[in-house]
Amino acid sequence: MYHIGVDFGGTNIAAGIVDEKGKLLIKRSTKTKRYRPLNEIMGDLLSLCDEIMERSKINPQEVSTIGLGIPGNIHPDGKRVVYGNNIDCLTNANIEKIIKNHYPHMEVYLENDANAAALAEVFCGVARGLRNVVMVTLGTGVGGGIIIDGKIYTGANFAGGEIGHIVIEKNGEKCTCGRQGCWEQYASVTALLRQTADAIDSYPESKIYDLIDGKKIKISGRTAFDAMRMGDECGKEIVSKYVEYIGIGVVDMINILQPEMVVIGGGISKEGDNIILPLREYVKKNVYAGEVDSIPQTKIVAATMGNDAGIVGAALLYKQK
C-alpha dist (Å) from residue 167 to 65, 132, 182, 195:
38, 23, 4, 18
pLDDT per position as a tens digit, 53-83: 999 999 999 999 999 999 888 888 888 899 8
201 & 92 share domain:
no
105 & 200 share domain:
no
As a whole number of angstroms, the distance between CA 109 and CA 96 comes to 8
Residue 68: the pLDDT is 97
Work out the average pLDDT over 213-218: 94
90 & 181 share domain:
no
Work out the average pLDDT over 4-18: 93
200 & 71 share domain:
no
Question: Structurally, how many domains does the chain consist of?
Answer: 2
Residue 307: the pLDDT is 85
196 & 296 share domain:
yes
- Asked if residue 86 has pLDDT above 80, the reply is no
46 & 108 share domain:
yes
C-alpha dist (Å) from residue 232 to 60, 65, 85, 209, 274:
55, 51, 38, 11, 15
35 & 91 share domain:
yes
Residue 282: the pLDDT is 97
Q: Mean pLDDT of all residues in the chain? A: 94
pLDDT per position as a tens digit, 159-179: 889 999 999 999 999 998 899
- Asked if residue 125 has pLDDT above 90, the reply is yes
pLDDT per position as a tens digit, 220-269: 999 999 999 999 999 999 999 999 999 999 999 999 999 999 999 988 99
Work out the average pLDDT over 267-282: 95
Q: Residue 139 — pLDDT band, cuts 50, 70, 90?
A: confident
Q: Residue 17 — pLDDT band, cuts 50, 70, 90?
A: very high
**pTM (2 decimals)?**
0.88
149 & 296 share domain:
yes
As a whole number of angstroms, the distance between CA 280 and CA 244 comes to 10
Residue 163: the pLDDT is 94
Residue 77: the pLDDT is 83
87 & 207 share domain:
no
211 & 97 share domain:
no
Any idea what the CATH number is for the domain that residue 86 is in?
Answer: 3.30.420.40
Q: Residue 157 — pLDDT band, cuts 50, 70, 90?
A: confident
297 & 316 share domain:
no
Which domain, by its residues, includes 91? 2-122+308-320
48 & 164 share domain:
no
Residue 83: the pLDDT is 86
C-alpha gyration radius of the chain: 20
